[in-house]
Structure 1
Amino acid sequence: MGSPLLWNACAAVVLVLLSKGSVSHGAEFGHLPDNITVLEGESVTLRCRIEEEVTHRAWLNRSNILFTGTDKWTLDRRVTLANNNDSDFSIHVDRVQVTDEGTYICTFQANNKPRITYVYLIVQVPARITNISKSLTVNEGDNVVLFCMAVGRPEPTTTWKDQEYGLMSEGEFLDITEIKRQQAKDYECITNNGVAPPDQRKVKVTVNYPPMITDMKNMPAHLGKTAILRCEAMAVPPASFEWYRDDHRPVESDNTLRIKNEKTRSLLLFTNVTEKHFGNYTCFASNRLGASNASMLLFRPGAIQGRGTALRAGASVAVWFSLVVVFLLKV
């Protein structure tokens, strides 16, 4: 804010230099408040009330003369004289900028003595996010660092939140160690300094992970009827599906069997079950991070399950081995 003695000396010098002019009349001098706070971009009027017989008046800012009476010394078009009469000598600052912050002095001479009052103009800037991490895709187990840079006057606080757990971290950086698939979500950065509503933005984090088959089961089927075998697999990116019979042959669609692949599952649709359809089927789900397989039986109701179970177990090991080899060759 500067030394009041220094400001008083500067103001006194200005009045000495301007010791020519007319007289205005009044009774009492009203002091300006110590501080005036304004938002960047708004306008403000700095008032100087004069109520005694005075000569020569001036406004100063950082030792620069703004006005002497009605004479404008500053080249800044945003600064204008609001009032200049016997009781009010005020200036107006339009579209206030951060550089306008500082001490302003209203000074005049009364009874051959300088009278001075000063005010400190505080310019506030709402908190605003200036730079933030872009949405990103990582692999499960990676370490992730998100950043969110903000500016404002006064200095803003920055926090990270998610919709499920609320507050996660305070500060510009959010560290996630060995990220898990459950942590794939939107992370929200919020910055606030109490000047205006908080500024907030989101970062989307996608986590890649290998397929994991979550739903498969044996299915009874009647001759001549329809049947469905289902294979559900969660994966990011989505898994590709392949089906194999117990003799390691890939399953292909024909007039009695159709393969329907969807985003998270694959279906074997039997439209007319025959004897040749009964047996062990293996679902193989893969993406670039890995693979998973599961076997299931399509069986006739009432058939002996012991034989089917043994068949499934023996075939699963053999099929799994061959599928791993196929997957490695693809990679």
Structure 2
Amino acid sequence: IIVPLKWKYEPRSLTTAFGTDIILECDAIGYPQPIIKWFKNEPFKQLITEQSVLKIEKITLSNNSTYECVAENGVDVSLRKDIRVNVVVPKIQPFIPPNSITEGEQFSLFCTLARGSKPMIFKWLKDKEVMENNADIKIDNSDDHSKITFNN
């Protein structure tokens, strides 16, 4: 007995935020039971897994690609579906620091999320080192913005 392959769960393209986890599902039915394979098509075609579920943790731009799910059982024509994973990179609203600051004067800088999913984790850097709260610096973070205040 041969039962033609058909999609039980056909994968779909998706757009996701940088740093999130995604699960791509692909499954087919037929007899003999099909084997499911996931391929990443860029920069060259490579087998990722031979399972119906493809989990990608902490998405980066390297995951921004076309993926192919293949269901095959060796007797029927294979089912193939290309899907696209689009990764959206967060963008902050440009800000302008004050032109001049008087010594001893308190001032603040604001960093606001212009594009991306919340919650966002903000970090302020000075000379490539992460700045922390102390007697001279106060950092207030929320889901979509951050404020750093300097007490000169």
* TM-score for the superposition, normalised by structure 1: 0.29
Amino acid at match of 1:128: K
Partner of 2:63: 183
The range that moved more, 143-152 or 132-141, is: 132-141
Partner of 1:138: 16
Higher helix proportion (structure 1 or 2): 1
* Cα contact 2:68–2:83 (8 A) shared by 1: yes
Amino acid at match of 1:181: L
Q: 2:26 aligns with which of 143, 148, 152?
A: 148
Within the alignment, does 1:204 sit opposite 2:57 as a pair?
no
* Cα contact 2:113–2:145 (8 A) shared by 1: no
**How many angstroms does 1:198 deviate by?**
1.0
The structure showing larger relative contact order (alpha-carbon pairs under 8 Å, at least 6 residues apart) is 2
Amino acid at match of 1:144: I
Once the two structures are superposed, what CA deviation does each residue of 1:232-277 show, in whole Å capped at 9, x if it has no partner?
xxxxxxx87x6969849xxxxxxxxxxxxxxxxxxxxxxxxxxxxx
Q: 1:195 aligns with which of 65, 68, 75?
A: 75
Matches within 5 A, 1:2-13: none
Amino acid at match of 1:168: I
Amino acid at match of 2:81: R
Please list every run of 5 or more consecutive structure 2 residues that lacks an aligned counterpart in the other structure: 101-110, 123-143, 147-152
Secondary structure at the counterpart of residue 167 of structure 1: strand
Matches within 5 A, 1:308-319: none
* TM-score for the superposition, normalised by structure 2: 0.58
The whole-number CA distance in structure 1 between the counterparts of 2:46 and 2:145 is: 42
Please list every run of 5 or more consecutive structure 1 residues that lacks an aligned counterpart in the other structure: 1-122, 212-238, 249-283, 292-326
What number of residue pairs does the alignment pair up? 109
Secondary structure at the counterpart of residue 182 of structure 1: helix
The whole-number CA distance in structure 2 between the counterparts of 1:245 and 1:131 is: 52
The whole-number CA distance in structure 1 between the counterparts of 2:60 and 2:73 is: 33
Matches within 5 A, 1:138-287: 138-163=16-41, 164-211=44-91, 247=99, 287=114
Q: 2:115 aligns with which of 276, 284, 288?
A: 288
Q: CA RMSD in A?
A: 3.1
Q: Quick one: structure 1 residues 141 and 197, their matched pair in 2 at CA, closer, same or farther if it must change by over 3 Å?
A: same
Q: Quick one: structure 1 residues 328 and 204, their matched pair in 2 at CA, closer, same or farther if it must change by over 3 Å?
A: same
Q: Quick one: structure 1 residues 194 and 173, their matched pair in 2 at CA, closer, same or farther if it must change by over 3 Å?
A: same
